């Protein structure tokens, strides 16, 4: 059996779901544009530069979830999926996931974006397993905090390994292991698999992939 792991933002999607979720809430008037729009751009620029403070970002991203009942958040998310996410899913991305599923590979979406935002997207791709940053809940209400280690940079390795262990697997359980990502932030996990694939990569990842002889794949544009 083989293992196939997929990053989400700007990999399977042609957009960043974290960024788009905040923008969606700003456009709806849920979040104040004057305060949140600049911060959203600020954190997005940090991510691209590889300088993101994940704790500071999660405070920004998860606190709004704690201010609203789950039913309202779920309704907004359905709108978000239709308006922002479905148009960002291309045929090549769907075909890539479908190929691995049809080959009988164990597949998972592995993303730093929180599981509230990404859970329905994972299901849209037909994936049964999600490794994501977990927003803590108490009695079904989000607390505004993350639970456990964020699924970011080296944290992705730790979270993937915990997921594999929970099913009785380890890296050596698989003949081949793939990870598909666009971002240099994912170099730790990309370096942990047998078949790293740079998908529409940023400049830093592209240079690394070319030097290392990794596959480069274009799914968007």
Catalytic residues: 7, 9
Which run of H or of E encompasses 214?
none
Which 3-state string (H, E, C) describes 177-194? EEEEECCHHHHHHHCCCC
- Do residues 134 and 93 make contact, with C-beta atoms less than 8 angstroms apart? no
Task: Measure CA of the first residue to CA of the last residue in the chain; give whole Å.
Answer: 32
**Taking every pair of C-alpha atoms in the chain, what is the biggest distance, in angstroms?**
51
């Amino acid at each position: 059996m083989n293992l196939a792991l997929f990053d989400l933002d700007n990999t399977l999607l042609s957009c960043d779901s974290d960024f788009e979720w905040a923008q969606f809430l700003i456009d709806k008037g849920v979040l104040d544009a004057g305060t949140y729009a600049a911060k959203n751009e600020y954190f997005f620029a940090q991510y691209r530069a590889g300088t993101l403070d994940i704790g500071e970002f999660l405070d920004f991203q998860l606190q709004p979830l704690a201010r609203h009942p789950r039913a309202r958040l779920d309704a907004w998310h359905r709108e978000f999926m239709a308006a922002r996410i479905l148009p960002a899913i291309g045929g090549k991305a769907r075909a890539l996931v479908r190929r691995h599923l049809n080959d009988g590979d164990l597949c998972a979406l592995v993303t730093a974006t929180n599981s509230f935002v990404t859970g329905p997207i994972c299901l849209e791709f037909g994936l049964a397993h999600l490794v994501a940053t977990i927003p803590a809940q108490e009695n079904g209400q989000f607390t505004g905090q993350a639970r456990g280690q964020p699924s970011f940079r080296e944290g992705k390795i730790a979270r993937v390994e915990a997921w594999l262990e929970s099913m009785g697997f380890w890296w050596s359980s698989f003949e081949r292991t793939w990870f598909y990502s666009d971002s240099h932030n994912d170099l730790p996990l990309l370096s942990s698999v047998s078949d790293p694939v740079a998908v529409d990569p940023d400049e830093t990842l592209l240079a690394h992939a070319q030097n290392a002889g990794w596959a480069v794949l274009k799914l968007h544009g």
